[in-house]
Chain A
Amino acid sequence: MNRLQNLFHTKKTNLLSIYYTAGYPELNTTVDIAEALEKAGADFLEIGFPYSDPVADGPTIQHSSETALQNGMTVHVLFEQLKDLRKRVNIPILLMGYVNPILQYGIEKFCKTASEVGVDGIIVPDLPMYEYEALYSKYFLDNNLSNIFLVTPQTSADRIRKIDELSNSFIYLLSSSSITGGSLNVSTNIEDYYKRIKAMELNNPAIIGFGISNNATFTKACEYASGAIVGSAFVKLLAEDNYLEKIPAFVKAIRP
């Protein structure tokens, strides 16, 4: 069992995950931010590695990715920074990024290195399910890494079942079909969607992401799922002066 699977085994509700882009706003604070978030009470983290053409991301994360690239962040640099991660941070860590930088690094080597530095799972929004299953799943499984799939309100029940089958920690439920950084709009349709997912009694817990930015949206999401992920709202905080010191208050405001 990796740290992520262990977490979902022991804690079932109100899980809070935070996303941030490695190398933003400064190149070398990746692990400092992780440490601060753990101390502030976050349950698990998603560290994004930047890509030049992030089609699933809104302006906030696009901007953070651009800055991170300008600062010199690469997959190599990130793994170098994460070498001593597990001396300082204990909560589960996911890496999140687009498929092309992983392919250039080499997907087998990527999984191996990720596992060596203590990463527990990977989210690759543009890695197709077929390619994952047929070509790459062995590298994930051999290295005890969870692959996280996304589900949107438009994902069919059959496909959700298939995703559930291929998952071994949690399923990333998108609050709507949108790019990152929008607002959570819990309309009747969305409630129906969450209820529909809940009624499917999937093997894997669901975590809601996209549009979670404050206590109200976090609490609402936790009514329907095991927890929620905050991304763009946190990346905005990183743009402020003395951002490390502001992390405890930020986390407390989301989940008092």
Chain B
Amino acid sequence: MKYGVNELGYYGDFGGAYIPEMLYPNVEELRQQYLNIINDAGFRAEFDQLLKDYVGRPSPLYHAKRYSEKYGANIFFKREDLNHTGSHKINNAIGQILLAQRLGKKRIIAETGAGQHGVATATVCALMGLECIVYMGEIDMARQAPNVARMKMLGAKVVSATSGSKTLKDATNEAMRDWIANPVDTHYIIGSVVGPYPYPDMVARFQSIISLEAKRQLLEHTGKELPEYVMACVGGGSNAMGMFYHFLDNESVRLVAVEAAGKGVDSGHSAATTFLGREGVLHGSRTILMQTDDGQVVEPYSVSAGLDYPGIGPQHAHLYKINRAQYVSITDDKALQAGLLCSQLEGIIPAIETAHALAQLEKMQFKASDNVIICISGRGDKDLETYIKYFGF
């Protein structure tokens, strides 16, 4: 793949494995084994079976007629919100739990922002009977309380991260500290295309099912395999990478990644990484991150816990730098309004993360013949309280 990772773990200038020695044996074990394991026929069969029977894949590609009318193009929703547990996160969690089993790990840790990855991880741990510890920022635990309860009900232990901004980045720090202290029996299921190599590549492969299906489904709908546009929201960037993956080498397909502008990119309360960030190292990879001149990580802000992250995956940083994908941003207000619009035009209440991607439709200039696929990365049940507060229902 032209835009894939090289043998040293880099995408152009980005990637690598910037980790302390304490994590080296774990990461090296993964690096040596992940491709053999996930390309093994037995693994593929079990992965595909679980995606079909347990997750409910393939997720539909829905032709959103009222949206198409409104925006003057053929808009298709890739319905990851219909997956078991309510988002695309389960695809990666299934893949990594099968991998962890094959590595002989007994204990699973994860970080979570919105709680979707935490729920997905708690779910697969229940399924496989493995111990599960989820790190979550104290602030996120408050704003995503239903997901905290879901994780507990699924048997996971939820540990609050109380350092720094008390959100996703700090939950990730705490999970890394746990992994350092438990180097032998523990697998860390990172939820996005971030972290040291091989995580960005491994997670992208597990999420690539999204675009693999979408290509086939678009052909069924339209007689064409390639759309004009593919759109998705980006925090760390796993649903976007899954949605882009099989279209990357088709240069005619325009890729649009939507970041969270928070209260506005210049407001000081934003998570629009490509606008506000510079190259540096975050959570084990060289990427683009929001930071001070002195190299301290800036605490991001977004109404959406899943996009409230100061970096992006290294492959996204590469796609941004070489202009293979377009990176834009949407404010809290526009996202929440798009969430309401989608609910009332299509009868689908999207996650606030997803609503950022939907809001970008307002800014696009489509031709009537354009086919547009937008990833509906998750459902909005977890965000009802935020929506209710904002709209005063």
Contacts and interface: CB of A to CB of B under 8 A. Distances in A.
Interface stretch (A7-15, A30-38, A101-109): A101-109
Nearest to B170: A53
A42 B78 CA distance: 63
Interface centre among B278, B282, B295, B297, by most A CB within 10 Å? B295
Interface stretch (B12-20, B63-71, B301-309, B370-378): B12-20
| Consensus secondary structure, chain A interface | loop
Given A75-B295, A101-B294, A178-B22, A53 B181 contact: no
Contact of B291 (A58, A62, A100, A131): A100
Interface centre among B20, B181, B184, B283, by most A CB within 10 Å? B20
B163 interface: yes
Contacts of A154: 22, 24-25, 183-184
Interface centre among A102, A127, A177, by most B CB within 10 Å? A177
B280 interface: yes
B296 interface: yes
Contact of B18 (A58, A101, A104, A128): A128
Interface in B327-350: none
Contacts of B163: 62, 66
Given A53-B282, A55-B176, A179-B181, A105 B295 contact: yes
Interface in B273-313: 278-284, 291, 293-297
B21 A100 contact: no
A69 B298 CA distance: 12
Contacts of A182: 181
A155 B28 CA distance: 11
Contacts of A178: 22, 180-181
B388 interface: no
B169 interface: yes
30 contacts: A51-B296, A52-B296, A52-B297, A53-B169, A53-B282, A53-B283, A54-B173, A66-B163, A74-B294, A75-B295, A76-B294, A100-B281, A100-B282, A100-B295, A104-B280, A105-B295, A125-B20, A126-B281, A131-B16, A150-B20, A152-B21, A152-B22, A152-B24, A152-B25, A154-B24, A155-B21, A159-B24, A177-B22, A178-B180, A179-B180
B297 A126 contact: no
Interface of A: 51-56, 58, 62, 66, 69, 74-76, 98-105, 125-128, 130-131, 149-152, 154-156, 159, 174, 177-179, 182
B289 to A, nearest CB: 8
A103 B176 contact: no
Contacts of A55: 20, 173, 176-177, 180, 283
Interface residues of B, number: 34
Given A74-B294, A104-B293, A53 B18 contact: no
A192 B139 CA distance: 44
Contacts of A58: 177
Contact of B22 (A53, A104, A150): A150
Contacts of B25: 152, 154-156
B297 A128 contact: no
A154 B23 CA distance: 9
A38 B103 CA distance: 48
Given A103-B295, A128-B18, 12 more contacts: A56-B20, A56-B180, A62-B163, A103-B279, A126-B19, A128-B16, A128-B19, A151-B21, A154-B25, A155-B24, A156-B25, A178-B180
Contacts of B184: 154
Nearest to A62: B163
B21 A174 contact: yes
A128 B285 CA distance: 11
B45 interface: no
B368 to A, nearest CB: 47
Interface in B138-195: 163-164, 169-170, 173, 176-177, 180-181, 183-184
A149 to B, nearest CB: 7
Contact of A126 (B20, B181, B294): B20
Contacts of A76: 294
A53 B183 contact: no
Contacts of B281: 98-100, 103, 126
A75 B20 contact: no
B8 interface: yes
Nearest to A101: B295
Nearest to B281: A100
Nearest to A163: B21
Contacts of A66: 163-164
A179 B279 CA distance: 27
A203 B228 CA distance: 61
